Chains A and B, each alone.
Chain A
Amino acid sequence: MNFTRGFRSRGPRDPRLPPGQYDVGSDWPVLTAEATPKLATDAWTFRVKGLVEEPVTWTWDQIHALPASTYNGDIHCVTTWSKLGVTFSGVSVDTLLAAARPLPSATYVMAESHTGYTTNLPLADVTGGQAWVVWDFEGEPLARQHGGPARLLVPHLYFWKSAKWVSGLNLLDHDEPGFWERNGYHDHGDPWTEQRYQGD
């Protein structure tokens, strides 16, 4: 690697920051490719479908009746900001999948949004307490520009995998690229190995 004339590091790095990331502090940048939708909670639904024994659809009230689950930790955006020590609340994806019962052939999921946005993930990355559907941020309703009323949260992967305005999970027996993945972004997106773009 060639170093840049005059450039120096600013001192010790927070060990919670993956390589190439910086701490955005109290900011929370909004990076979205589409117009921010206005979704009414009384018409909102979430559906698990595809390779499952029983497709299930939850309304806003029904999904809130499920056991609550909270994430405390960090989030990492591929555009190089990380936000440390955040709290989201909602429901674990494990709870949702348990209701629909994935078939043994299911190996990938396509997360889908009410806007038409999609993002692909291995099923193994959204099970085992690693993924949530969340509607609260720091105890307040999740703001519309951050994906409210509810978004997917898969915090161990780059944040484009945490689909805003999420409408459901479609279980598949193969991987296929979602919206950003068709646009050159990585199919997996692990921030600790900098899987930013296809081929990384």
Chain B
Amino acid sequence: MTEPPPPVPPPSKWLPAKVVEVRPETSTAKTFRLELDRTADYVAGQHYILRLSAPDGYTAQRSYSVASAPDGSKELELTVERLEEGEVSTFLHDEVVVGDDLEVRGPIGGWFVWRGDTPALLIGGGSGVVPLMAMLRLARRTGRSDLVQLVVSARAPEELYYAAEIPGPETTVVFTRQIPDDWPRPAGRLTEGDLPSPVGGTTTAYVCGSSGFADAATDLLRGAGVPEERIRVERFGPTR
């Protein structure tokens, strides 16, 4: 991380966010489409903080990556994994419906961002695909799919987020435990053979997933000769 990123503006104060759509991605992940009172002025890869407020003044807040690509509208999508002990994620999954009012702050993050004009290798594990999906969607919408390659790892077909949308010439899906019928690659962990070869010298790698996944993926990238300063990592810890 030797090159300082350009400064980014601080996040907004708390903004009202109305839930305008809820859809399941898997049995444990839902996407919430939110409408703000102003343009959702984010960059692919950034996240927002979502806050829940109780009548007694108690609040709970968590960070969630944006899954949608910025399009100049007031809307954005957050994909939330339901964690069994998660105070915020269980409430969002079990209670929140279209029409509810939430609050968000953001966008946040100036490092794990892709502005749509540089070569990018995106490597995501499990729920770590969410901020990378914003980047893939941006590339496809702007006709620059040639700039990105997405490698996504999921345990089983039913655990793959955005399963209908991901397939394409610029994407590779790896299943680690179960594969669909007639799937050419056997189940197994991500290997160097799953990465494009060679990785271009001007390509920035964006790795997102659990800490273990992120460490394994960065080791593969090092093995493929990608220098440290071209590897950006976002880890999803076991936060609740």
Q: Write the residues of chain A forming the contact surface with B, with a CB cutoff of 8 angstroms.
A: 1-10, 13, 19-20, 22, 24, 27-37, 79-81, 115-117, 145, 177, 179, 182-184, 197-199
Contact = CB atoms under 8 A, between A and B. Distances in A.
Contact of B87 (A19, A22, A30): A22
14 contacts: A1-B53, A2-B101, A4-B101, A19-B59, A22-B60, A24-B240, A33-B111, A36-B218, A80-B63, A81-B239, A116-B229, A183-B7, A184-B9, A184-B109
B61 interface: yes
Interface of B: 1-2, 4-5, 7-11, 14, 16, 49, 52-63, 87, 91, 95, 100-103, 105, 108-112, 211, 214-215, 218, 221-222, 228-229, 231-235, 237-240
A152 B52 CA distance: 33
A28 B240 CA distance: 11
Contact of A9 (B54, B102, B228, B238): B54
B237 A4 contact: no
Nearest to A3: B53
Contact of A115 (B1, B57, B62, B237): B1
Interface SS of A by simple majority: loop
Contacts of B52: 4, 7
A7 B233 contact: no
Contact of B95 (A7, A37, A199): A7
Contact of A3 (B55, B62, B91, B221): B55
B61 A2 contact: no
Given A9-B56, A80-B239, 7 more contacts: A6-B91, A8-B55, A10-B87, A20-B59, A31-B237, A33-B111, A182-B110
Contacts of B1: 33-34, 115-117, 179
Contacts of A36: 214-215, 218
Nearest to A19: B59
Interface SS of B by simple majority: mixed
Contacts of A79: 62-63, 239
Contacts of A115: 1, 228
A30 B9 CA distance: 25
B99 to A, nearest CB: 9
A35 B228 contact: yes
Nearest to B14: A1
A33 to B, nearest CB: 5
A4 B54 contact: yes
